Amino acid sequence: MVWSLDGGIIVTLYKDILVDQGGQISGQMITDRQREVFNLILENNKITRKELAEQLGIAESAIQKHLKALTNAKVISRVGTRNGYWKL
């Protein structure tokens, strides 16, 4: 993202969280499905388990297992409950 400000510019750089080396995110080994879950959360950090399941065409119980694995790997965390969001 680049903005102009008083004759200068401000540039915002974003570090790619996903490291595509042997299926790792931030040094943690993950499955292809967990990568898909992570990418959907990256696009919308307020996405629900139900929405994840619908978009990936798998059961909510499977989504819960993938979310638990990503949480245990400290790749994501949940802030709040029903109206919360995923923190990357």
Q: What is the pLDDT at residue 28? A: 65
- Taking the chain (88 residues) in runs of 10, the rounded mean pLDDT of each run is 59 49 61 95 96 97 96 93 91
Task: Write down the pLDDT at residue 37.
Answer: 97
Q: What interhelical angle do 60-72 and 49-56 show, nearest 10?
A: 110
Q: State the pLDDT at residue 5.
A: 56
pLDDT at 7: 66
Is residue 70 within 8 Å of residue 53, measured between CB atoms? no
